[in-house]
Amino acid sequence: MTSRSARFRVASGVLSRGGMRALAACAVAVVSLHSLEAAACGCFAAPTVVDPVVQAGERIAFSVDGSKVTAYVQIQYTGSATSFAWLVPVPAVPEVKVGTDELFEVLDRNTRPQLSLLTTVAPGCGPSGPVFGCGAAASYAVNRGEGGGPAVGGNPLVLRDTAGPYDYAVLKADSKADLQQWLDDNRFFVPTTSDAALAPYVRPGAYFLALKLRPGQTAGDLRPIVLSYASTYPMIPLVLTSATAVPHMGVQVFVLSEHRSIPRNYHHVQLNPLKLDWATAANYGALVTAAVAEAPQKHAFVTEYAGSSEVVRGQLLVAAQYGAARFGVQSELGQQPTPAAFVGYLVSYAFAPPTADTGGAPLPAALLNLVEAQVPYPPHFAEHGVTREQFFADLTRYLSSESQSAHPDWYAEWPGAHYDGPALAASVFESYVQPIRDADAMLGAHPYLTRMFTTLSPEDMTEDPVFAFNASLPDVAAVKSATRVTGCNGVATTFSAEGYRVDDARLTQPRKDAMPAAAVVELLGEEGPAQTVSRYAPEADLMAMAGGQGCAVAEGAFFIGLAAVWLVVRRRKLA
Amino acid sequence: MKRAPAMVVIGLAGALLSGCGVPPKQGADGGGAGGGGTAELALGTAQTDGTGFVEMPVAAVLTPGAQGGFHVWLSYRVRGTSGAVKAAHTVRRESDGKLLSRGERRLEVGAVGEGGWWQSDTATPAFLCPTPLGVSVIDEHAVFEVRLLAEDGSELATQQVKTQLVCPADGQAAFCMNICKG
């Protein structure tokens, strides 16, 4: 039985005037409950808010401007630099630039799903009896504790260039044999398992972008790559990714556009809030995997946020802790007289990401790599217990002649510093600051942001997800809310979330285990509302009204009560 | 009884606003020159490589795209306007009006050629496959509509063409059938 049918049963029983009076009295009680919930005196505790921590194997941020798609791809890789290569199909010869990890930090931080659990008590119920008031805070604490917390012939090369730490090539995709021969000849490592996965993308007029790290770069130098190309719909080449994917690999997609983005050829699922661990969010990732598995072909996305991009705009260029603009002025940076002063300027002007504690935290590796080109970290410092970060944090000391005289063995094989302030400042602004400014401009140029997530195993990566847009779909808040109302004296403790309201005592782990992980499996089209494929309805005995425990726990009772009051008043007027 | 005339007026106004029953003007260049504004638009398709202007055939073979999908090329000819314009297209399944694709492209209308027509150098891919879930396009008739818009958003011309969408018969056939079936 759904809550709607329960409500209907109560309403249909209201036939006599006496019955209506009784319901009217009940409505007053419900109004009181609503008044209680509206009060901010601490009668209910502040909600617990937890963030699910889910590691995405692939993170992509798209921006779409008419017929141009820009993709920021965060490359996650562990292994040797010489073994690193990345191959991606593109519909046209792309512009290739280096991006910034800060973009993903800002996107993630401001749109990450949050589970907010509000715990309160029913009227007349308290932690130690029928006590009203702020004592409910103790109940909150207890409950939280219980929760647990163009090439010619066979040469496919179109162009070859470098971008940041990368050596890249754009290759024609006319012939798989030619493509693989070129990749082999030029030492672009491609897993042999990707041979079959390449097939759907090999065709005349198509291109591949191949990336590898330039000599001297390490896997730690990997930075997001930015591709811009002519296309209408963003797409992720998951079939190709399957060659190197791991089971249940997380795929995180951000889309900046005019309207809400949707998976065009994948289903959309909404998580079952009754299965979520609202106290710790520890099962969030597993629940996404399970919900996606309930969609046909295990092809589905969850929308974690859909709404204004205002939540991320302007944040890349402002140091929150100072409320001031970052980066200072290039010419000022270049005029710093010593490497120590140069690094000091980087710290003072918040070149580190805004969330970092720039008061003592090391500057990001991408930035130190640039400084290190002129001021190398002495190769023997590590064996004497001085880390790279410590070295750059105290250059005055470590570059002094006193230090070099006192520990000549520490400086063995060290080529020395060759500081050129203006050149280093130019390098920093071109390679480090400009990508952040570009990313900020992208965030500011699109009014809408959609965040979607899925997990996929290699065997399920059989179709590339394509993303489209629908202006008529509602926003999706990052914060999901639930409420647990502790009852007593025959009033059941209820748990409400995302449209469900159930008897908390009956929401046992075995019951949760038996429930579907997806509350809703649906199709999202480019026009009109979602089309529901399946929707979970809790069993009748799980509903909060079970046992007839009074109006205080009935979903919609407030409105039924109001209707009853209106009927009583109307009848009296008619009389 | 008093409401009937008002309803008639509203109905007529709605019909006029929606443009129902007004077929696009057909031009002499195959695709047809669309009216509805101050300019003329001819809509056709292109050669496999996306160049040229070819009359939209009765049945259009879906062209493999660069990212593992399929599309139909849209090629434009414009006259009666110049400078920056925007061509916004939609593709709908004729049987039920389901939206299959939409997109837009900026064009810079420059020097005109034969017949006073300006022609785009490269065609625009109308992306079709993978199709929206549950919407097959295989052997379906599709209506391609293009609206030519000025920079201020005002409509300069509009045009429609119809064709039947078919998968290629070559080695791409099975893949096409798979990702175009909805």
Instruction: Confirm if A535 and A545 have CB atoms less than 8 A apart.
Output: no
Specify whether the CB–CB gap between B118 and B110 falls below 8 A. Answer: yes
Distance from C-alpha of A347 to C-alpha of A360, rounded to nearest angstrom: 9
Whole-number Cα distances in Å, B60 to B25, B70, B104: 22, 12, 21
Over residues A12-33, mean pLDDT: 29
Task: List the 73-112 stretch of B: residues with Cβ below 8 A of A.
Answer: 86, 98-99, 101-106
Residue A81's alpha-carbon distances to A77, A164, A165, A213, in angstroms, are 9, 15, 11, 6
User: For residues A93 and A156, what is the distance between their CA atoms, to the nearest angstrom?
Assistant: 13
* pLDDT given at position A35: 28
- How do strand A300-308 and strand A267-271 relate by DSSP bridges? parallel
Taking the C-alpha atoms of residue A175 and residue A170, their distance in angstroms, rounded to an integer, is 14
Lowest mean pLDDT: which of A99-103, A527-531, A537-541, B69-73?
A: A537-541
Tell me whether strands A68-74 and A225-230 are parallel, antiparallel or unpaired: antiparallel
**A65-78 pLDDT, tens per residue?**
878 899 999 877 77
Coil, helix or strand at residue A499: coil
Verify whether the Cβ–Cβ distance A203 to B67 is below 8 Å: no
In chain A, whose CA is at the least distance from the CA of B101? A526
Contact B88, B119 (CB under 8 A): no
Q: What is the radius of gyration, based on Cα positions, of chain B?
A: 18
Q: Measuring CA to CA, which residue among A214, A238, A239, A211 is closest to residue A224?
A: A211
Q: Which ipTM score applies to this complex?
A: 0.79
d(CA A59, CA A500): 32
Mean pLDDT across chain A, nearest whole number? 79
Cross-chain residue pair A200–B66, CB shorter than 8 Å: no
Q: Which candidate in A232, A233, A261, A522 is best for mutational testing of the B interface (most B CBs within 10 A)?
A: A232
Q: Could you report how far apart the first and last alpha carbons of chain A are, in Å?
A: 37
Instruction: Return the percentage of chain A with pLDDT > 90, whole number.
Output: 50
- For residue B46, name the pLDDT band (cuts at 50, 70, 90): very high
Do A206 and B102 count as a contact with CB atoms less than 8 A apart?
Answer: no
Which residues of B are less than 8 Å from A264 in CB distance? 130, 132-133
Look at residue A138 in the predicted model and tell me its pLDDT. 26
Chain A residues with CB inside 8 Å of B50's CB?
A: 205
The whole-angstrom separation of Cα A195 and Cα B13 is: 60
Q: Where are the beta strands (DSSP E) in chain B?
A: 33-34, 40-44, 59-61, 63-64, 70-79, 83-93, 99-109, 118-119, 124-129, 141-149, 155-166
B1 to chain A nearest CA, in Å? 32
Backbone angles phi, psi at A97, to 5 degrees: -140, 170
Contact B122/A at CB under 8 A: no
3-state secondary structure of B104: strand
> Which of B102, B104, B179 minimises the CB distance to A526?
B102
> Which stretch of DSSP H or E encloses residue B16?
helix B3-18
For residues A521 and A286, give the distance between their C-alpha atoms in angstroms, rounded to a whole number. Answer: 17
The model's confidence at residue B140, banded by pLDDT at 50, 70 and 90, is very high
Q: For B51-90, where are the alpha helices, taking DSSP H only?
A: none
Element (H, E) at A493: none
The whole-model pTM stands at: 0.79
Q: Alpha-carbon distance B96 to B109, whole Å? A: 34
Q: What are phi and psi of B110, to 5 degrees?
A: -115, -135
Within a 10 A sphere around the Cβ of A517, how many other Cβ atoms? Answer: 21
Question: Is there a contact between B49 and A204 if contact means CB atoms under 8 Å apart?
Answer: yes
Residue A296 has pLDDT above 80, yes or no: yes
* Token pair for A149: 């917390």
Domains and CATH numbers, chain B: 44-179 (2.60.40.2550)
- Other beta carbons within 10 angstroms of residue A320's beta carbon come to 11
Digit-coded pLDDT (tens) for A95-153: 899 999 999 999 999 999 999 999 888 877 765 433 333 332 222 222 222 333 344 45
How many Å apart are CA A75 and CA A58, to the nearest integer? 7
Inter-chain CB proximity A466 and B133 less than 8 Å: no
A231-245, A332-346, A432-446: least confident range: A231-245
pLDDT tens string A351-407? 987 664 544 456 888 899 899 999 999 999 999 999 988 999 899 999 999 999 999
Rounded CA separation A543/A555 (Å) = 9
> pLDDT tens, B56-79?
999 999 998 877 789 999 999 999
CA distances in angstroms from A176 to A137, A179, A207, listed in the order given: 66, 5, 11
Dihedral of alpha carbons A371, A374, A377, A379, sign = positive
Across the interface, whether the CB atoms of A523 and B133 are under 8 A apart is answered yes
Residue A111 near residue A315, CB atoms below 8 Å: no
Closest CA to A61 of A102, A114, A115, A113: A102
Q: Say how many C-beta atoms besides its own lie within 10 A of residue A225's C-beta.
A: 24
Contacts of A233 in chain B (CB under 8 A): 103, 127
CA atoms within 13 A on the CB side of A420: 8
Nearest residue on chain A to B107, alpha-carbon basis: A67
Question: DSSP per residue over A47-112, as a string?
Answer: PEEE------SEEEEEEEETTEEEEEEE----S-GGG-EEEEEESSPPEEEE--HHHHHHHHHHH-
DSSP string spanning A213-246? EPTT--GGG---EEEEEE-SS-B--HHHHTTT--
Confidence of residue A213 (pLDDT cuts 50, 70, 90): confident
Taking each helix axis from N to C end, the angle separating A17-38 and A557-574, rounded to the nearest 10 degrees, works out to: 130
A249-288 b/e (C-beta count within 10 Å ≥ 16 → b): bbbbbbbbbebbbbbbbbbbbbbbbbbbbbbbbebbbebb
What is the helix (H) or strand (E) element at residue A555, kind and residue range? none
d(CA A61, CA A450): 10
Bridge partner list, A319: A324
CB A353 within 8 Å of CB A365:
no
Task: Count CB atoms within 10 A of the CB of residue B107.
Answer: 18
Q: Which of B118, B112, B106, B93 is nearest to B151 (CA)?
A: B106
Pairwise CB contact (< 8 Å): A207 & B101: no
